[in-house]
Structure 1
Amino acid sequence: MTAVFLIRHPETTWNLDQRYQGRLDAPLSKRGEEQSRRLVASFRHSHLSAVYSSPLKRSRHLAEVLARASGVALQIDSRLTEMAQGPWEGMTLPQIEAAHSLLYRQWYSRPELVSFPGGEDLAAVRQRTQSALGDIFHEHSAGNIAVVTHSVVIQVLAASALLLDLRYLHSIRATNCSVTTICGTRAPGALFSLNSTDAIYGSAVSSAELNGCTTSEPRRLTS
C-alpha cells in the first residue's frame, strides 16, 4: 500500500492578489516562504520514498527543499502542472468576472463543461493526472510519496478518488500548503484525508498518522 501526499504549493504574491496563475508563475509571499519551512519540518519523520513536483517554480521551490531534506531525488512530471486557463492567466477575479462573465459563471456552476480558449478542460486534466498517479503507484508499491502540485490538480485527483463527477469540483478545497492524502495500489486510489493544514500549523505529518493506510486496503467511498 502506498500513501501519496498531495501538497499544494505555498502562497504566492498572486494568491494574495486573487490573480489566476495557471501556467504562469509568481514568487512566494513571505507567508508562503514560512509555510514552506513549516511544511518541510513537519515531514522530517515521514520517511518519504520519493518526491514529485509540477515543473512550475511555485511548486518546485518547495519540492526541491523537501526532496533534499528527505535524501531523495526530485522527480519533475509535467502531468502534475496546473490547469491551463488561457486568457484568465494573469487576471484578477474582478477582471475575469467583468471581461468573461459568461465563462466565469459557468466555471463556478458547471466547471466540467468549461474549455478554456487556448487552455484545456477538466477531462484533459483528469486524464493526465490519473496517468501520473497510476505511474506513481506502479513505481512505488509501498511507502510514503510526496507530490507538490496545484489546486485544480488536487481537486481533480480527490474527486476521482471519491468517484465524483467533475461538476462538483468546487466542493473540494485545496488551500496553500495543505496536504491531501490518497492511499492505494492503483489509480484513482482512495481518499484518506483532505486539505489538512496540520503540517503548517503545528502537527507533524508522519506514517503513524496514516492509521493503517499503508497496511490495509482502505474502504472506498462512493458518490
Structure 2
Amino acid sequence: MGVLYFARHCKTAWNLEHRIQGHTDIPLCEAGIKEAKNNVPIIKNLNITKIYSSPLARGRQTAEIYAQYLGVPQETRKDLIEMDMGEWEGKTAQELSLFSSSLYLKWIQDPRLVPLVPGSKEDVYSAQRRIVEAVKEIYFKEARLFNVLIILHKYICSLLRCALQNFELSHFKNEIIESTLPQDLAVSSPEFFQAFVFPKK
C-alpha cells in the first residue's frame, strides 16, 4: 500500500514579500532553490516514486529539483493549480487587512463568507472539489501501490486539508501550512475516497 505525501512549493520573491500569488506565475528565487535542495535528504527517506505539481513555475521547479535529485519521474497537472485569487494577487495580507470591514479578513477566517474572491473566476467550493478530485485520481492511478509526493500551493492545500479531515471551512486559516516539508494526511485506502462527502456549503 502506497502513501500520498503533500508539500508546499519552495519560496519565491513574492513569498519573501508576503504577496498573494494565486495564478500569477512567479518562479522560485535563489532562497527557494536552496530550500528545495536542502529538503531533498528528508524527502529521500520517504521512498517517493513519482512527484506531481501544478504547471505554475514555483510548483513545477520545486518538483523538478526533487525529481532530479531523487531520480524519479515528475508530472504537471493543471488541476493542482493554486486558487484564483483575483484582484488580491500581488497584494500583501497587510494591505488587504487595513480595515475591519476587509473582505480578505472575512475570507481568511472562513472562505464561506466570501466564496468568490473579487475578480476570481473560481469559487471556493469549486476549488475544493477540483483539488480533491485531482488527488483522488492520483491516488487510484499511483499511490495505491507507490509513495507519491504532490507539490501544492498554500491556499489550495488548506482547502484539501479541510476536506480530507472533514473540517468545515471555518478551519481554513488554521490548516494553512507555511512549511515546505512533506505532510502525510493518511490517505491510505480506497475506502476513504469511496466514503468521502464534500462539506456542506
TM-score range, shorter chain: 0.7 to 0.9
- CA deviation digits over 1:99-124, x for unaligned, max 9? 89531221133212321133122211
Distance 1:43 1:52 in 2: 14
RMSD between superposed Cα atoms in Å: 2.1
Cα–Cα, structure 1 residues 162 and 69, in superposed 2: closer, same or farther, change >3 Å? same
Distance 2:68 2:132 in 1: 26
Q: Among residues 124, 127, 140, which one is paired with 2:126 in the alignment?
A: 124
Letter in 1 for 2:30: K
Distance 1:129 1:153 in 2: 7
**Which runs of no fewer than 5 residues in structure 1 stay unpaired?**
190-223
Q: Among residues 186, 189, 196, which one is paired with 1:185 in the alignment?
A: 189
1:22 to partner: Cα distance = 0.5
Q: Does the Cα contact within 8 Å between 2:37 and 2:66 map onto a contact in 1?
A: no
Q: Among residues 159, 165, 170, which one is paired with 2:168 in the alignment?
A: 165
The equivalent residue for 1:20 is 20
Percent identical among aligned pairs is 28
Distance 1:88 1:177 in 2: 23
Answering whether residue 42 of structure 2 is matched by residue 39 of structure 1, we say no
Answering whether residue 90 of structure 2 is matched by residue 87 of structure 1, we say no
The equivalent residue for 1:58 is 58
TM-score, structure 1 length as denominator?
0.77
Letter in 2 for 1:81: I
The equivalent residue for 1:205 is none
TM-score, structure 2 length as denominator?
0.84
Distance 2:110 2:75 in 1: 34
Q: Which moved more, 1:64-73 or 1:86-95?
A: 64-73
Q: Does the Cα contact within 8 Å between 1:154 and 1:180 map onto a contact in 2?
A: no
- CA deviation digits over 1:24-81, x for unaligned, max 9? 1333333322210011232224322211001110111110121223333211111111
Letter in 2 for 1:108: I
- CA deviation digits over 1:129-184, x for unaligned, max 9? 11111101111222210111111122112111211011210111311413221331
Cα–Cα, structure 1 residues 97 and 123, in superposed 2: closer, same or farther, change >3 Å? same
Distance 2:105 2:79 in 1: 27
SS at match of 2:150: strand
Q: Which moved more, 1:112-121 or 1:59-68?
A: 112-121
Q: Does the Cα contact within 8 Å between 1:51 and 1:67 map onto a contact in 2?
A: yes
Distance 2:170 2:100 in 1: 20
Structure having the higher strand fraction is 1
Distance 1:97 1:21 in 2: 16
Letter in 2 for 1:127: R
The equivalent residue for 2:109 is 109
Q: Does the Cα contact within 8 Å between 1:54 and 1:149 map onto a contact in 2?
A: yes
SS at match of 2:6: strand
Distance 2:78 2:99 in 1: 30
